[in-house]
Chains A and B, each alone.
Chain A
Amino acid sequence: MNENQKSFDSDKSESEDEQKNGRVKVRSRKTDDNEGYTWEGEYQRSWDIVQEDAEGSLVGVIAGLIQSGKRKRLLRDTTPLQRGIIRHMVLVLDLSNSMEERDFHHKRFDLQIKYASEFVLEFFEQNPISQLSIIGVMDGIAHRITDLHGNPQSHIQKLKSLRDCSGNFSLQNALEMARASLSHIASHGTREVLIIFGSILSSDPGDIFKTIDALVHDSIRVRIVGLAAEVAICKEICNKTNSSTKNAYGVVISEQHFRELLLESTIPPATDSAKTTDASLVMMGFPSKVVEQLPSLCACHSIPSRGGFHCPRCKAKVCTLPIECPSCSLVLILSTHLARSYHHLFPLKNWSEIPWSANPKSTHCFACQLPFPKPPVSPFDESTSSMRYACPSCKNHFCLDCDVFAHEQLHECYGCQCSGN
């Protein structure tokens, strides 16, 4: 129900806004032709999506819809792969004119900032020892918004301070700048570019195909999230720079889909097994937390603080982790950070849905102890689902919510952990 309700609400508030501002807007329309009216958009007939079930009730149908939505998000590819968990990513934002469009009920620009911030948080959550830089393209010129570093808060701060957009987008300029900041990265880290591409054109100063070749040469992977339509050059860039992964280029259908596509990039990419077969050692420091009586300046921000972490090599004090030691360039990290990235390497297997025909005996969810629905009268009625999901290794049954929680947050199976395996 939630999702439907939400879209309904946002519809309503949007139209109310329009009504209030209606008059003003009509006048301002002439000067600013880029804004469309809400009523010029596609009609959203949310009542058409749900259909009554046999008993004329909506409850079951809606529950089914939500359930299938949750399931969809869960079914991921779970083959264990070698993945690069030390990532270096450049996020390219589209700050061109086309971001003024309002085809998702909000300005594309606002959505972009909102989801980019979410992306930054999620990215560092999933990849604590990675680094990110942000580039914005405006008037055909790429501007560096943040340098390559690992502090999410400062990225988000810079993101929120962005205001205007103008001119055209230029893929080549963006890629060249990204390449400049990525090309010196050591080979154990990945080099990635993620572009939010709201335009349908790219006005480039030179031959973009040369840039693509250079990207391939530097083994930089480019993923693109398009907001409007499939553009041939984007497809080509993604195909050429991603040898292993498919679907590096996605075009959004809805707001929700936009977010999903962006967040897909938080999962570390599989390493190209053909290229980097020999493992190399990376020097890292695991500092312990210190608490001081008197405040002292930290080496990273030069702000007085009472505590922090001492670099095990040079004893400089830093206030947050993970970070590269400002004085001796050692990567400082906590073991929990490494552990957090670890689940990408061995993802939790997808749990399979148990049909009624399998005749499940369980009555309660193994994890949360909530009761399962009773089997239907006729044993092979396939119209309703049994709401039981089984882990393929420990064979315990769980409810959908626990399934989602285990896969999205915990990355561990409750049953397997209990049995001591």
Chain B
Amino acid sequence: MKFYIDDLPILFPYPRIYPEQYQYMCDLKHSLDAGGIALLEMPSGTGKTISLLSLIVSYQQHYPEHRKLIYCSRTMSEIDKALAELKRLMAYRTSQLGYEEPFLGLGLTSRKNLCLHPSVRREKNGNVVDARCRSLTAGFVREQRLAGMDVPTCEFHDNLEDLEPHSLISNGVWTLDDITEYGEKTTRCPYFTVRRMLPFCNVIIYSYHYLLDPKIAERVSRELSKDCIVVFDEAHNIDNVCIESLSIDLTESSLRKASKSILSLEQKVNEVKQSDSKKLQDEYQKLVRGLQDANAANDEDQFMANPVLPEDVLKEAVPGNIRRAEHFIAFLKRFVEYLKTRMKVLHVIAETPTSFLQHVKDITFIDKKPLRFCAERLTSLVRALQISLVEDFHSLQQVVAFATLVATYERGFILILEPFETENATVPNPILRFSCLDASIAIKPVFERFRSVIITSGTLSPLDMYPKMLQFNTVMQESYGMSLARNCFLPMVVTRGSDQVAISSKFEARNDPSVVRNYGNILVEFSKITPDGLVAFFPSYLYLESIVSSWQSMGILDEVWKYKLILVETPDPHETTLALETYRAACSNGRGAVLLSVARGKVSEGVDFDHHYGRAVIMFGIPYQYTESRVLKARLEFLRDTYQIREADFLTFDAMRHAAQCLGRVLRGKDDHGIMVLADKRYGRSDKRTKLPKWIQQYITEGATNLSTDMSLALAKKFLRTMAQPFTASDQEGISWWSLDDLLIHQKKALKSAAIEQSKHEDEMDIDVVET
């Protein structure tokens, strides 16, 4: 259908539109006009992606600026889905407009997923794939080959050279499958095709990391212009992504590997010195002249980028004491030895980067400044030496990145040394965590660089937390409800068991036999009445394990087993994939299954349980983080001191967004239906409930906020029967599903009410000017 928002014609590839989609598009348009950051929460399964794409593409094509869209999503499957939607949208546009617009839409993912090289693609580890690819495609390899040397290269990559650098691929939307297929047909590397075409395309769809993680962003996303529209979809975890991109964990084994790498580097330096000392001399000269020249080379094949944000990079020459290769090697050796000694300590240490640097200086006489240049220096050395196989340098890379980060940032970071893995362990297994506490550091350059940034997800409530944590001001901040022709989901808060004992996953109460039994009862009863799939979430693996073993001894699992197969999510991804497959099979053939999973696990984040794959979800307890974790404690303290966010507020916010994520798993559209059970006494309190997204809150009735197990069962039974009654798309029309006519009527009404509002305000003008 085609309609107008203000002056903008929009082509929407479906004949009907949901009211909230229309609302979403209007708000999106206004925020794009205004520029700045918008925070939009839209229920899952209401066609968020297509609304976004169809509005932004219309916007792009209509206005002369042709602003580029950078669409960031979380997982590969989501990127693929978005690309498929975009493809459909463009096909629709072509059919409506009657001609094909010059348009290029690409998706980027790692080499591991896109590589076509017969032996490289078989590697399982992403780092190894990257390293081997570099060894085949790096600039010096090409030079060597041109010089007539017999070096292995990648045929797929070399074939790209035949084409003009700006037309590696024809216009259109290329899904990841399309592009690999195309690459196979023409023997051209899909990864580099996409990489090199990024500056020329209208829509880019890739993972957050390409924009947020400075190690990658600098290489991939540098050339994007300022007026791009950046969209972060599924952005409820964006703060964690920001933090992770600037945090580094070092273990003893990684230090060991690092010193091994240094040794081999040293050997190489000596070799080169004897055979070709000019090479090193050249490099030295370059470094004296300054860093920028050294960086001038094509950095596509760069060994590693600077781990700090671009604006924090010191723009001056490398300090003299690490300019010579052998000096730098000695410097690195000293630093790694120092770290090794620090790891020997048997008590926990938490310190700021400043005190760490002071200590380094006291012991090893290493200054802050050379540390800061470590990453650049190593890159330049590796380039000069033309080392091709860089895979075993991963640990060294980490150490160097650590050195650079620790010397660059003083605030918002903490170093924590944990000698033991768990509280009761006696064998030390030390980890040195350098962790970022301030999520706003990593995202700040994005906010500063791009004119429009849209942050959107199904679960962003409470909305005011993100601006505080990430330090930005929004131009638009909106949470949408869900218009439904029938109440297709039933959220219930179960606070006590049938025996009226309050249930809670609170630490003191969680192992109480009566709580365990009541939780077991809920599972048994719901597996009796729920058809097909039932998903249960627990706050942590630890709790999952303990409660399952007590259920086993109580005979609860045997009882569940009568009605459903029981499958469990484990930290091992392969096992979990297998469990999921079995689960889906059991759901479709009528046997029915229960999936026990964890609120922060893979299942809760990326797997959809649409239709019969999830008829009910039970949230056992509130998924609080492990509060004894030192990193978390440090972060809480930081948030309190710097941004005035109280610890309890943050913890609850974090727990509730994960709970909401879990609940959202079962409802993937308006024709879907599902039961949502929140089984914890604490959900009954309004401070918890109000932190759920608006669209869930909207449907929690007063009567369903404080139920016992048996009452919830009666409600659920009735709900399931009602939902099973025939329901066709025509029932939704006009209410939760607008045709073009409905939309036009709505627009007219909105215009009229706006006019009335306007006239009212004009009357009030002299009284209250601020309001308009």
Contact = CB atoms under 8 A, between A and B. Distances in A.
Contacts, number: 80
Nearest to A206: B589
A103 B529 CA distance: 11
A226 B724 contact: yes
Contacts of A103: 717
Interface in A194-211: 200-204, 207-209
A232 interface: yes
Contacts of A201: 531, 563-564, 590-592
B318 interface: no
Interface stretch (A57-65, A245-253, A270-278, A373-381): A245-253
B723 interface: yes
A246 B528 CA distance: 28
A162 interface: no
Contacts of A247: 726
Contact of B722 (A207, A226, A234, A253): A253
A230 interface: yes
A171 interface: yes
A229 B590 contact: no
B213 interface: no
A229 B725 contact: no
Nearest to A37: B710
A231 interface: yes
B409 to A, nearest CB: 53
Contacts of B587: 232
Interface string B513-539: 000000000000000111110000000
Contacts of B111: none
B612 interface: yes
Interface string B581-619: 000000111111000000000000000000110010000
A42 interface: yes
Contacts of B714: 40-42
Given A40-B710, A201-B563, A228 B720 contact: yes
A248 B529 CA distance: 22
A233 interface: yes
A209 B529 CA distance: 24
Contact of A204 (B563, B591, B721): B591
Nearest to A251: B724
Contacts of B713: 40
A40 B717 CA distance: 12
Contacts of A246: 726
A229 B530 contact: yes
A236 B588 CA distance: 9
Contacts of A251: 721, 724-725
Given A233-B588, A233-B589, A253-B725, A228 B529 contact: yes
Interface in A208-245: 208-209, 226, 228-234, 236
Nearest to B589: A208
Contacts of A252: 721
A171 B590 contact: yes
Interface in A158-203: 171, 200-203
A200 B531 contact: yes
B718 interface: yes
Contacts of B723: 229-230
The dominant DSSP class at the B interface is: helix
Contacts of A234: 590
Contacts of B611: 232
B528 to A, nearest CB: 8
Contact of A228 (B531, B590, B591): B531
Contact of A42 (B529, B589, B591, B718): B718
Given A42-B714, A200-B529, A229 B724 contact: yes
A200 B721 contact: no
Contacts of A40: 710, 713-714
The dominant DSSP class at the A interface is: loop
Interface in A291-318: none
B530 A200 contact: yes
A202 B590 contact: yes
Interface string A129-169: 00000000000000000000000000000000000000000
A236 B611 CA distance: 13
B724 A230 contact: yes
Nearest to B590: A233
B592 A229 contact: no
A255 to B, nearest CB: 12
A203 B589 CA distance: 9
Contacts of A204: 589-591
A247 to B, nearest CB: 5
Contacts of B528: 200
A289 B587 CA distance: 57
A42 B587 CA distance: 28
B592 A200 contact: yes
B524 to A, nearest CB: 10
A232 B717 contact: no
A37 to B, nearest CB: 9
Interface in B551-574: 563-564
The residue among A42, A202, A230, A234 with the most chain B CB atoms within 10 A of its own CB is: A230
Given A41-B714, A103-B717, A251-B725, A229 B591 contact: no
B523 to A, nearest CB: 15
A231 B590 contact: yes
B590 A232 contact: yes
Contacts of B591: 201-204
A242 to B, nearest CB: 14
The residue among B591, B713, B718, B721 with the most chain A CB atoms within 10 A of its own CB is: B721
A143 to B, nearest CB: 20
Given A201-B563, A247-B726, A229 B615 contact: yes
A202 B563 CA distance: 9
A232 B722 contact: no
A230 B531 contact: yes
A232 B721 contact: no
Nearest to B615: A229
A229 B563 contact: no
A229 B589 contact: no
B492 to A, nearest CB: 14
Interface string B196-240: 000000000000000000000000000000000000000000000
Contacts of A230: 531, 720, 723-724
21 contacts: A40-B713, A171-B590, A201-B563, A201-B590, A202-B589, A202-B591, A204-B589, A207-B589, A209-B589, A229-B531, A229-B717, A229-B724, A230-B720, A230-B724, A231-B590, A231-B612, A233-B589, A233-B590, A234-B590, A247-B726, A250-B724
Interface of B: 528-532, 563-564, 587-592, 611-612, 615, 710, 713-715, 717-718, 720-726
Given A229-B721, A232-B531, A232-B611, 6 more contacts: A41-B714, A201-B564, A202-B589, A229-B724, A232-B588, A234-B590
